[in-house]
Amino acid sequence: MPKMNIDMIKGRTPDEIKQILDISYEVMLAAFGAPDGDRYQIVTQHEPYEMQILDTGLGIERTDKVLVFSLVTRPRTTEQKVNFYNNLVSELHEKTGLRKEDVMINLVVNSDEDWSFGYGEAQFLTGKL
């Protein structure tokens, strides 16, 4: 059920994007215990001048490979969130060579009543999900 938006600077190949999507999906399933097939991912590619991802004074230097993950999700425990952050960055680094400094993640929490998966129905509330 998490909806994952991934912002990136244009220039990656379709295979690279697919790998990022697959890795982030698998990490999300493991960290949040979501059911298989619960996959809602949207990639938005930007011109370099359209993304300014600074470091908030942390000394993090970004490259043009920066990824920004924004997830809308049910409430999660602190442990689940920390595991997701750590595992996502580690898996992307290990499997794609992406620098750990180039991954930013943010979670936005909502509840079951905030979702409709189609037909204008609130499937979580009707019991269909």
Judge whether residue 1 has pLDDT over 90.
no
Annotated active-site residue 35? The verdict is no
Model confidence band, residue 109 (pLDDT cutoffs 50, 70, 90)? very high
pLDDT tens column, 54-76? 988 999 999 999 999 999 999 99
Residues constituting the chain: 129
Around Cβ 93, how many Cβ atoms within 10 Å?
15
- Marked catalytic residue, from 2, 14, 35, 48: 2
Q: Domain 1-124 adopts which CATH fold?
A: Macrophage Migration Inhibitory Factor (3.30.429)
How many CA within 13 A on the CB side of residue 23?
Answer: 22
Domain ranges of the chain: 1-124
